[in-house]
Structure formats: structure tokens, C-alpha cells
Structure 1
């Protein structure tokens, strides 16, 4: 048993030296079940229960480590979409706002629940956050987010063709954000001045009026909308 504990600690030290040092002193069964196993230098496997930060990011509290779902993107928490299905369009001043960021987070949180989550790191983002394929309860979390329409593929050439098939299905059915007007996330990150959680829907309404790109289906009446300042 002691040999197994020491071996686990050595492997863990590749990724989390501080935690590994603590493991040598306090080898608890709980930690051994949630250890980080290095598959290759710099490419670990995280196991354990997680918290959901947003629609594509998980938090492993036992490692103080964020992990981002690979190959997909989702609305940022302060980001708003706009629902084109509002009543009496002649009198309506603007489409109804849809909190696409919080809704994406809520769906990912619902999918993960309290189940242990296993994330296999496949790469690192430019900001140093691990990008991983994550599974909880036997379900690929990125695939689940694509299925319900609260995420999009991050590249037109995903590593898994099933990802594109699930996105196409969600788009055709207009699930999630595909039933809204919503700015492409990368453009939103470049242009949004206010990225706080108290951001008002009108800010994204105005960004859509001058957008360069969008991810939702090309609703004709979403184009050339005038800017407004009264909301």
C-alpha cells in the first residue's frame, strides 16, 4: 500500500508539486482518488469533482486548477443574446434579451451535477489554461453542450466529426443560442468594453447592429438594426 501511495505522489509531482509535497505528509484516500496523472510531459489527466465556472470552464478545487473544454466555445457570462420571437414586432422596440452566458453555465452545471469528472488535457490555450476532453457520468461534456445548442465548435475543422454533426443538428432544430441573435464570442471579447456581470442587454443589442460576424442562423431582420440607448 505504501508503495502505491509514493508512486501516486511522484506522478502528481509532475503537475502539482505543492500538492504532491502535502501528499507525502498526508496521504489521504480521497486525494488518491482525485490525483493528477501525467500522460506525457505537461499533459495531465484530472479526476475528481468540479465546480462550473461558465459554459466551457471547470474548476478543480483540490488542485486550484481551471480546465477548459477543448474544441468548443460558449457565450461569456456577461454576454447577452436576443430572442427574435417576440410578440407584435411592429410595436416592439427590441427583441427580448436572452442571458446566453448564464444559460450555458446552467446547462453544463446540470450535466455535471455532483458526478466525478475526468478531464484529459490535449493542449493549452494561449493564456495557459489546459484544454481537455472531459467526461462526467459517461457523457462527453463538450458534445452535450453542442447537442443542446449552448456551445459552438471552436474550429470549422474539429478533431471529432461527431462534434460537427451535433452542432449541425442543434442549428437545424434552433436549440439554445441558435434560436437567437448572438455575436460571435471572439468578436464579443474584442469589442465589449464592459465585461462585468452587471452588463445591460442593450450593450449587446448595439454590438449586433455593427457586427462583423454572428454565430446564429442568418435571420434577415437581425441586420441593420439601429442603435439604442434607452435600456
Structure 2
């Protein structure tokens, strides 16, 4: 259910004009815990391997074979989507726009680096793209996105238990989008009329008031905030 307290906090907000980076999992640099998944080389599974172009925070493009692959088991902000980093400024709540879609893409590009990518294909998505579990440099890319807080777990997958562990880790540390007011990506796609790269932060700020879910910790923080700060 939609929180009744957050809109009260939003009535006094000041929206700053410039995007602000959110603290991400820089402490995770050098992590090697997530090597090639067990069973990744099973001969019965279709595989794609090669250099890729990162499309967004969950999508890869293999130019040599003209195939798009979405990372299985996770979702991320679409490129035009904005989130909002809450900061208390006196009695007002200051919300700094955060380009969560662009930052999700940037983090996935960082994870891939110059490494070739290998994907074990599991299914087709509804729009015809392939879905699979992908590794680069010995690392599971979905885990890397979850660990940094720039993706969330979506639906059942062969690695769901591991994925949930890393999502809880990122949420507790307030990494990436978990430090912000952010609309669930599926809900954003259903409600956002303008999905162009020129989308303004105010459009997503307006969607906050009609959201159906509170997915990130700042919503819970707002629920604990007194209605008046001068009493």
C-alpha cells in the first residue's frame, strides 16, 4: 500500500536542479566471490560469447551476432528514469534528482570493462530479446549490479537465493538506488508516458505521489519522521 506519510514530507521539499551521485558500492572493488556459476558450461544450454555494448543497466548487445541479452533475475531503472536522493535541510526535505537509469548503465559498463562476456541463455523475454545469466572477467554481472545497489531482484531465477543475499546487502548499506526514493522499474514503465532521454526529473517526482509500492529504505525513514518538526 502507498504510504500516507511520504506525501506529507514531500509537501515541503525543495528540488535541486543538478543531479547528485548516490553513494555506491565502491568498497566492493576487487571482489572475486562471484566466479563462473556452477553448471554454466552445461552443454545443453545455448550460449553467446563475445564483446558487447551495454544498452542499459540490465541489457547487453552482441554486435557480432546482432542479439540482445537481458540479465536474468534482475531489473534496473530504464535510461530516462530518475530517482531522488533525500537530504534534510532545516525543516525541509531536499530531494536531489539522481539519474538512476544512466548510473545503472554506467555501473554495468564498469563491470564489463574490456572483458568479453559469456551468457548462458535461458529464455526469450516478452519483446523477443534473449534472457540469460552472464559473466565477464569471472564475475556474475547480475550479482555485481545487485551488490552495487543499481539493480533489484526480479522473479525466480536459478540464482535467486544468492541474488536476494546481495540485494539485502546493498539495501542495508544504502548503496545505489537504495539510498533514494525510487519507483519500481516495472511500475515506472507502466506509468511513464514520456520515455525519451529528454525526460525531466519533475515527471518522476510527480509519479512518486501515485506510486503503488515503497521499495527503497528512504520510504520507511519517511514513515518514522514526525509530521511536525517544531514540536
Interval of TM-score (by shorter of Structure 1 and Structure 2): 0.7 to 0.9
Partner residue in 1 for 2:91: 90
Question: Match for residue 159 of structure 1?
Answer: 158
Q: Partner residue of 2:116?
A: 116
Aligned twin of 1:175: 175
> Whose RCO is larger (CA < 8 A, sep 6+)?
2
Partner SS state of residue 46, structure 2: strand
TM-score, with structure 1 as normaliser: 0.74
In the TM superposition, structure 1's runs of 4+ consecutive aligned residues that sit over 6 Å from their partners are none
1:125 aligns with 2:113: no
How far does residue 162 in structure 1 lie from its aligned partner after superposition? 0.8
Number of positions where the alignment pairs a residue of Structure 1 with one of Structure 2: 182
Q: Give the direction of change, closer, same or farther, for the CA distance of 1:91–1:174 in structure 2 (3 Å limit).
A: closer
Greater C-alpha radius of gyration: 1
CA contact (8 A) 1:38 1:45 kept: no
Q: Retained in 1: the 8 A contact 2:72–2:157?
A: no
Structure 1 unpaired stretches of 5+:
1-36, 224-231
Aligned to 2:78: 76
Q: Which has a greater percent of helix?
A: 1
**Is residue 60 of structure 1 aligned with residue 62 of structure 2?**
yes
**Alpha-carbon distance in 1 for matches of 2:90, 2:105:** 30
RMSD, aligned α-carbons: 2.1
Between the aligned partners of 2:223 and 2:124, the Cα distance in structure 1 is 36
Q: Is the 8 A contact 2:123 2:131 kept in 1?
A: yes
Mean Cα deviation higher: 169-178 or 209-218:
209-218
